[in-house]
Every structure is written in C-alpha cells, then in structure tokens.
A and B are shown apart, each in its own frame.
Chain A
Amino acid sequence: MSDRINTRSMAAVTGLLLEGWALYVVGAPPERWRPALIVREEPTARVLYETMIQTLREARCLSYTSACSNPDDQSSTYWIWLKKPGSFGVDFINDASLKSTMLLDDGRSLWIHWTGDRPTLLLDTERSREDPRSNVYIKKASLAAGGSLRNEVALLGTAWVGLIFDPSVFYGGPGPLVIGMDGIRGRGTDSVQGEECDVIEISLLKARHICYVWISTRDHLPRRFKEIVRGAQVRVTVEEWSNVTVNAEIPPKKLAWSPPPDWRQWDPPSLEDSLLQSGQEAPDFTLCSARRGKLRLSDYRGRVVWLYVWDTGSPQCRAEISGFQQLYREYPDKGPVFLGFNCSDDRRIARAFLRENSVTFPSVLDSSEAATRLLRVDYGNKGGILPLNYIIDPQGRVVDGWFGQEQDPDRVLAALRKAGLGLAQPTE
C-alpha cells in the first residue's frame, strides 16, 4: 500500500516538476538586451560573409523569391529580378491578399503600379486619399544612381513584412548589414529547404540588431535571414529565399514596363507633407525623461527648442547626436535648447548610448503607447522615420520640421532666425 502511495507521490512530483519547467520555458518573456549579446569577430565567419557579398556583386543577373514573415502570422512574398547595370523588377504580395505591388526600374525611371486600384500608402495625406486610385502609377527617378530598393519598398508602406536584406547590395550598395557592425561569428551548419548552409551571426549597433544568415555552401548565396531588433519591443523577422537563379536570362517583360494609354501618373505627397507645418502649435507632452522624472515641452516656453527625435537603431542619429551635444555645450544660453525624443528604444540601450556619448542635453526616453502615438499622429511621423527635427519658437509654435540631416544649412539658419535666434555659422 505504502509502495503504491510512494509511486503515486513520485509520479505527481515528477509531473509537477516537468510542468513547472515547461511553463517556465514557454512562458519566458523575450530575452532582453544585455552586453554579452555583442558578437566578437571571428575571421572564418567574416570570410563567409565577404564571399557572400562578393558573389552577389559579381553576378550579372539574379532572381529569387523572398518570403518574409514574422511571428504575428503576417507574411509578404517578393519576387525579385535583378540585372546589372541597374535594372530590377520586384513584385510583392501580402499573405491572403490578391493585390500585388510592382516596382520596376529600367535604368532610366522607377515605375510603381498595382493590380487593381492603388492602395493607401504610407505617404498618403488626408487630401491625397481623395485622389483617383484607378489606373494610376508612380514614376520616380531611377535608383541606378544609388538608392535603396529596400527603403523604397518600406516607404510605400503596403508590405506587411519588409525585406531584411537590401537587394541593392547586388549593385554595390553597402546594404543594411554593414552599418554599425560589431562583429560576425559562425553558428555551425544547418539545412534550409534541403540546401546545406553555413550559419553566421552578425551583431549590429551594439547588439541592438542581431542578424543570422544562412549561406549556401554550394553557391555562397544566402537562403535565410533572421533579424532580431531589440527596440522597445523585441521584434523578430525572417526572410527566406527560394528559386535562387544566378546569371540566367531574365525575361525582358520583367524588367520593362510602359503605362497603358488610359493610365495616369500620380505624384505621391512627400514625407514632409505629413509633418506639422510652420505656425502650427507643437503639441505639448509630459513624458519620462532620460534622467529620472518627467519632461514637459511647455517648460521650455520662452526658449527656442530644437526637438530631435532619435533612436539608437539609426546610424544617422548615432553619428549626429555628438554634434548636438557639442553645440549644447558650446552655446548653453545663446543657442536653442536641444530636446531629444526617443520612444522606440529599450530604455537600457538608450541610456547606455547616452552615457557612452556623454550626452547631457535633456531627452525624452519613453516607449509608452502615448509617446508613440504622440510622435506618429500628433507630430506627423507616420512612418517612424528618423531622425526627425522640429524647430519650435518661444511661443511653442513650429517654425520648421524635416527628416534626416538637413542638407541645406541655410534652411536651418533661417528657421532658427525666424524662431528668434541669430546664428552666424551653419550648425552643420
């Protein structure tokens, strides 16, 4: 009798332990960022990576199907045809949708059109939503001069899941895996769709981004990418290549398109059209500061404010922020108040970055939904494109706003002057 009880107790305890372990493992939250994630360089893995890039750049033609997906059950499939010196065709479709978007660059112009009516794009403003949508196409300058195909797709905002690997690498572009690379290491071998692959791990921007690449041992071309972005949320995306064909003739119709006679060209609004316009009041906010406590925009009334929206995942922000700190230090009273705004980073990563760069100007570090909504809706940054700059006058009204580094120093000076400052030298 006691043997039976003992056996039952043992079984119950073992079961409880096993279930406890299982719940602990399946219920574990996504792994957060820590310094140990930064990859140290391994020369053998570097050779694999360089060989892959070289193979891509040496190819005359390349075509493949790229299936991009994320754990939220979203997927987009891209059919990509690339031909040197500067032609490409890209068709993509979202899972379960019938509408496909087609981008085609014939070396002279970039054409974008759709099966059926034009969908709502990321660039659309309230006014442009009313524009006719049937039988329209977009014509832009060719990317042959050096644009990013990946960014062009992302800018449309119609793909559920964007590309991880920028096909522009084929034409000699640096690609997203180079900027801010910490190191590469090997992660053994694996098989993708029956293809034997070497797996490498690439750490970028101090392990904010980690990318695993499966490189075929047969043709040295990639077969799968897995990108992990540790921002405010941990985001995983997978891109898988199939039907990879190198140097085979690409059907001419894939690389040439001319609009049918009854189609009209439609010019999309620019990204800056969505931003707050000069004279509009800058929406006030009270959000968490990089230091402890809250930071309120209206506390800076009476001073000219340079609102700088940044995150550590943007190489441009990483490069620029030291310059702002220098200006802040050199002109503490005469210059504008630099006010950072970051709502897309893990707080630990962002604070470490500010410490490393000795940034002392005030900055919002708040990844709450309210902060994200404020930026996307109230401040008009629908695409979350960074960096974003706003010059705000002492009365709290917007004087000017722009994305990225302003190439025209006169525009910055004019904005600062209009806001009430007089700077003799360009700020760049």
Chain B
Amino acid sequence: MRAYELMKETFFRRTYIWIVHVIWLALYGVFWWLFLPEAPEFGKFLFIWAGFFLPLALSAGIFGDDIASGRICVIVTRPFWTGELYLYRLLGLSLQAAVHLLLAGAIVLTLHAIMRKGRVDDLGVWLLATWLLFNTCAALSTSLSIVVGRAFNSLLLLVVIVTGYFLVGLLTIYLGRQPSTDALVSFIRYPWPPFELLYKFARGEYERYALTVGKYSVAKSLACVVHSLMLTAVYSLVGIALLSRRQFSRVRD
C-alpha cells in the first residue's frame, strides 16, 4: 500500500505531469503524421523526447519541492527505510514511462495501420532503448533533486548534458582523433547516461553493423542493456545515500 501511494504520488504530485504526457503523446502522433518516418527516424525522435526530455519534465523537483516546502521532514519521520522513498518514486517514474511508451507505440501502430505508410519493424527495440534511457536520466535527475533546490535538478541536468556533449563534439571535430580526445569520449561514453550506447543498440548497430552474424551481436546488445541498468542502479544508490545522510531542517529552503 505504501509502495502504491509513493508511486501514485509521482503522477499526481503536480497537475502539469499529465499535461506533459498528453503533449508528448500528441507530438509523436504529429511527427508521424507530418513526416511519415521510417522506424529509425521515429525511433530517434522518440529516443530524445521520451528518453531524455520526458524524465527531465517528470522528475523536476521530485524531492526539491518537498524539501523546499518542508514536507520532506514529515515524510522521513515515517517508520520505513528512507531508501524506499527514493526507490518507489523512481519506480513510479519508470512505470509512468513504461505506460507512456506503450501508448506511444499504440499511437504509431494505429497511425501506421490507417495511413499504410512508413515502417515500424524495429519499433519495439527503440521503445526498449528509450525506456532504459529514461530510467538512467530519471535516476540521475532524482538524485540531483536531493541536493539541488526546487525544480532546478532538471534544468541543471539539461544544461550539463547538452554543454558536455557540445564541448566534446567540438573538441573531437577540432582536434580530430587523438589519445586525449579518445579518453574524453570514453569518459563521456561510460559514466554518463548511455545515449550513444543505447542509440547504437536501438539502431541495430550491434546487430546490423556487427562484425559477424550471430552470437557476438547478441552479447553486445545485452551488454548495453546491462550497462544501462547498472548506471541506473549506481545513480540510485548515490541518491539513496544522499537522502539517508542529509539532515532535513524544518526551516524551508
């Protein structure tokens, strides 16, 4: 019951959350309607909108609002492990994303059936990759929300990720392939949200462009999924540790 209440809260905590869902779902439909994309094109769109922007929108101030209002002091005095508060909220976001992506898939399949244009072959893989990316970004944003005031966690994550990728991209173009840029790219590739790896996974790079046909490609795809889940777990553990150690004052932030 407690778990259900905590998960439900992630959806009902702000009115704008269901509006975000509706707008995002409408965007998928409009994109398909206007551009009649193939699965990879739609996949890229979904990957960024639902995998990156949606968790930012849904997790904005997920803890920051409670901390700012002082409500967190009441919540943490309840007789359960503080980590559960974090886990169920993250699970709530993850379940919202799962339902959201299933609805997005249904919209696209319906439009595809009506218009009989475009291709939806790899849609399932794109939805899975998007959900995995959503989870890592949501975990990172939720953890940030514990230390960043109000709803600035999402804004900070957006700025850091966009700036980071922009700078690395610029350096790679400017300096070309060198050991230093390779090291920088590896630094961005593994501990940050796995945009590149999941994008390659969804795009079938580990299958379509793998060096062999068969087992090797399956192992690479599986490794991408495992890495993404591990990152979600690590970001969550950091968040739980921060939440458990922080002393909340009754004075509003």
Instruction: Tell me the interface secondary structure of chain B in the complex.
Output: helix
Q: A18-B226, A22-B226 are in contact. Are A236 and B213 (CB under 8 A)?
A: no
Which of B200, B210, B212, B223 contacts A22 (CB under 8 A)?
Answer: B223
Q: A15-B233, A71-B205, A193-B121 are in contact. Are A23 and B227 (CB under 8 A)?
A: yes
Task: Encode B208-235 as 1/0 by CB contact (under 8 A) with A.
Answer: 1111111000011011101100100100
Which of B211, B214, B220, B223 contacts A228 (CB under 8 A)?
Answer: B211
Within 8 A of A (CB), among B114-163: 119, 121
Which of A25, A234, A238 contacts B211 (CB under 8 A)?
Answer: A234
Interface centre among B200, B212, B219, B222 (most CB of A within 10 A): B212
CB-based A-B contact count at 8 angstroms: 55
Q: How far is the CB of B219 from chain A (nearest CB, A)?
A: 5
Please measure, in the bound complex, the distance between the C-alpha atom of A23 and the C-alpha atom of B220, giving whole angstroms. Answer: 10
Q: Are B223 and A236 in contact (CB under 8 A)?
A: no
Q: Are A26 and B197 in contact (CB under 8 A)?
A: yes
B interface size (C-beta, 8 A): 23
Chain B residues with CB below 8 A from A15, complex form: 230, 233
Q: How far is the CB of B181 from chain A (nearest CB, A)?
A: 14
Q: Are A19 and B213 in contact (CB under 8 A)?
A: no
B33 is an interface residue with CB less than 8 A from chain A: no
Chain A residues with CB below 8 A from B219, complex form: 25
Q: Are B209 and A236 in contact (CB under 8 A)?
A: yes
A105 is an interface residue with CB less than 8 A from chain B: no
Please measure, in the bound complex, the distance between the C-alpha atom of A267 and the C-alpha atom of B121, giving whole angstroms. Answer: 44
Q: A18-B230, A19-B230, A187-B213 are in contact. Are A238 and B208 (CB under 8 A)?
A: yes
A126 is an interface residue with CB less than 8 A from chain B: no
B190 is an interface residue with CB less than 8 A from chain A: yes
Q: Are A21 and B226 in contact (CB under 8 A)?
A: yes
Q: Are B213 and A212 in contact (CB under 8 A)?
A: yes
Q: Are B213 and A238 in contact (CB under 8 A)?
A: no
Please measure, in the bound complex, the distance between the C-alpha atom of A36 and the C-alpha atom of B217, giving whole angstroms. Answer: 19
A117 is an interface residue with CB less than 8 A from chain B: no
Chain A residues with CB below 8 A from B209, complex form: 70-71, 226, 236, 238
Chain A residues with CB below 8 A from B220, complex form: 25-26
Q: A15-B230, A15-B233, A238-B208 are in contact. Are A26 and B213 (CB under 8 A)?
A: no
A31 is an interface residue with CB less than 8 A from chain B: yes
Please measure, in the bound complex, the distance between the C-alpha atom of A385 and the C-alpha atom of B197, giving whole angstroms. Answer: 35
Chain A residues with CB below 8 A from B233, complex form: 15
Interface centre among B119, B186, B210, B211 (most CB of A within 10 A): B211
In chain B, what residue has the closest Cβ to A190?
B213
Interface centre among A21, A30, A190 (most CB of B within 10 A): A21
A interface size (C-beta, 8 A): 26
Q: How far is the CB of A12 from chain B (nearest CB, A)?
A: 9
Within 8 A of B (CB), among A184-216: 187-188, 190, 193, 199, 201, 212
Which of A21, A30, A70, A187 contacts B223 (CB under 8 A)?
Answer: A21
Chain B residues with CB below 8 A from A212, complex form: 213
Please measure, in the bound complex, the distance between the C-alpha atom of A201 and the C-alpha atom of B213, giving whole angstroms. Answer: 9
In chain A, what residue has the closest Cβ to B205?
A71
Q: A18-B230, A25-B223 are in contact. Are A236 and B211 (CB under 8 A)?
A: yes
Q: Are A26 and B230 in contact (CB under 8 A)?
A: no
Please measure, in the bound complex, the distance between the C-alpha atom of A6 and the C-alpha atom of B237, giving whole angstroms. Answer: 17
Q: How far is the CB of B222 from chain A (nearest CB, A)?
A: 8
Chain B residues with CB below 8 A from A226, complex form: 208-209, 213
Please measure, in the bound complex, the distance between the C-alpha atom of A71 and the C-alpha atom of B230, giving whole angstroms. Answer: 25
Chain B residues with CB below 8 A from A228, complex form: 211
Q: Are B208 and A23 in contact (CB under 8 A)?
A: no
Please measure, in the bound complex, the distance between the C-alpha atom of A236 and the C-alpha atom of B212, giving whole angstroms. Answer: 10
Interface centre among B121, B208, B233 (most CB of A within 10 A): B208
Please measure, in the bound complex, the distance between the C-alpha atom of A201 and the C-alpha atom of B197, giving whole angstroms. Answer: 27
Q: Are A19 and B211 in contact (CB under 8 A)?
A: no
In chain A, what residue has the closest Cβ to B230?
A19
Q: How far is the CB of A325 from chain B (nearest CB, A)?
A: 33
Within 8 A of B (CB), among A41-59: none
In chain A, what residue has the closest Cβ to B231?
A19
Q: How far is the CB of B193 from chain A (nearest CB, A)?
A: 14
Chain A residues with CB below 8 A from B190, complex form: 23, 27
Q: How far is the CB of A339 from chain B (nearest CB, A)?
A: 29
Chain A residues with CB below 8 A from B230, complex form: 15, 18-19, 22
In chain B, what residue has the closest Cβ to A214?
B213
Q: How far is the CB of A372 from chain B (nearest CB, A)?
A: 13
Chain B residues with CB below 8 A from A30, complex form: 211
In chain A, what residue has the closest Cβ to B224?
A26
Please measure, in the bound complex, the distance between the C-alpha atom of A226 and the C-alpha atom of B186, giving whole angstroms. Answer: 27
Q: How far is the CB of A330 from chain B (nearest CB, A)?
A: 42
Chain A residues with CB below 8 A from B205, complex form: 71
Chain A residues with CB below 8 A from B211, complex form: 30-31, 228, 234, 236
Please measure, in the bound complex, the distance between the C-alpha atom of A71 and the C-alpha atom of B208, giving whole angstroms. Answer: 9
Q: Which 3 A-B pairs have the closest CB atoms?
A: A25-B223, A22-B227, A22-B223
20 contacts between A and B (CB under 8 A): A18-B226, A19-B227, A21-B223, A22-B223, A22-B224, A22-B226, A22-B230, A23-B223, A23-B227, A24-B223, A25-B220, A26-B224, A31-B211, A71-B200, A71-B205, A71-B209, A193-B119, A236-B210, A236-B211, A238-B208
Known contacts A18-B226, A236-B211, then 5 further A-B pairs from the complex at CB < 8 Å, ordered by chain A residue:
A15-B233, A22-B223, A22-B224, A187-B214, A226-B213
Q: Which residues of A come within 8 Å of B, CB atoms?
A: 15, 18-19, 21-27, 30-31, 70-71, 187-188, 190, 193, 199, 201, 212, 226, 228, 234, 236, 238
Q: Which residues of B come within 8 Å of A, CB atoms?
A: 119, 121, 186, 190, 197, 200, 205, 208-214, 219-220, 222-224, 226-227, 230, 233
